[in-house]
Amino acid sequence: MNETTTYYAPLQFIADASDEGRRLRDVLRKRVGISRKLMVKLKMSDEGLTVNGEKARPYDLITAGDVIALHMETEQSEDILPQPIPVDIVFEDEHILVVNKRAGIIVHPTTGHYTNTLANGIVYHWQERGERVRFRPVNRLDEHTSGLVLIAKHVFASQQLGEQMKAGTIEKQYRAYVYGQPPGQKGEVNAPIGRQTEDPHRRVVREDGAPSLTYYEVADVYGHYATSLDVRLGTGRTHQIRVHLTSIGCPLIGDSYYSLERWSESEIAVQFAKVIERQALHAVRLAFDHPVTGVRMEHEASLPEDLLNLEAMLREIRSE
């Protein structure tokens, strides 16, 4: 074994009667839905797969009571510069990390933004703890959207959470403050989203776009000026909430990119700009099955100061 190779704590499973006589690879696919890519990676690793403490091969036969263990080599993000950026940690164990992202910070380095991202701060956090971990975000938020972000700390957790994302079992709820009032106390926006021809960075509702579904429910109404909404995603398209809410005449307060002129040029917009300088959107709740234990987890992030100030202003306007 290469002495420089280090491993995460092994993931262990005990074979039961239904696993008797089956091949190791089939047991792992049935038990945890292990991907072919990860299976190959474990097979190539010195200690990747063991049964009862002995190195095993994917096609070995399993007996009830066997202790199956996955040993994954540690990885780290070599291309992400660690920076001492404050990170609001909501939950962390050896498999996942949940953070409350502040507005104004990008999740992952991109062209022209290699530093001062959430990833830079998290990699520094792990470095300070002596952990060798690669940054794998499961969900992402726009730069000026605040709230909960889920990060997988190893490839198995990433695979498992990725499958939940595809299946739609990860619940994401947002609090949105919008201009005007939507049609009805609750409803859905089922409209395809695609890139705008003139501006490829901008998304719009268009017939040839990708199927997109957003659910909303009114949380509070502030006269005819504004409404707060609890929003859930049926799909996860880029800028989906911003595009869908604008499409029903209720753009997010503070969102200059997807606003409507009748609101962005209004006197009320000038008042709102005194307390909030970004889109009024916060990822308030995240629920998912833990990728290793299978236990259902639910995390919440309270509203940040700027949204609390906006809400206070809205209540004052309503009482006038």
Classify residue 210 by burial, with Cβ atoms within 10 Å: 0-12, 13-18, 19+.
middle
Pairwise CA distance, residues 40 & 82, whole Å: 30
Active site annotation includes 60? no
- What does the DSSP assignment read for the chain? --TT--BPPPEEEE--GGGTT-BHHHHHHHHH---HHHHHHHHHSTTSEEETTEE--TT-B--TT-EEEE-PBP---TTS--------EEEE-SSEEEEEEPTT--SS-BTTB-SSSHHHHHHHHHHHTT-----EESS---TT-EEEEEEESSHHHHHHHHHHHHHT-SEEEEEEEEES--SSSEEEEE--EEE-SS-TTSEEE-TTSB--EEEEEEEEEETTTEEEEEEEESS--TTHHHHHHHHTT-PBTT-SSS--HHHHTSHHHHHHTTT-SS--EEEEEEEEE-TTT--EEEEE-PPPHHHHHHHHHHHHHHH-
User: Considering 26, 88, 93, 142, which one is annotated as catalytic?
Assistant: 142
Which residues are annotated as catalytic?
142
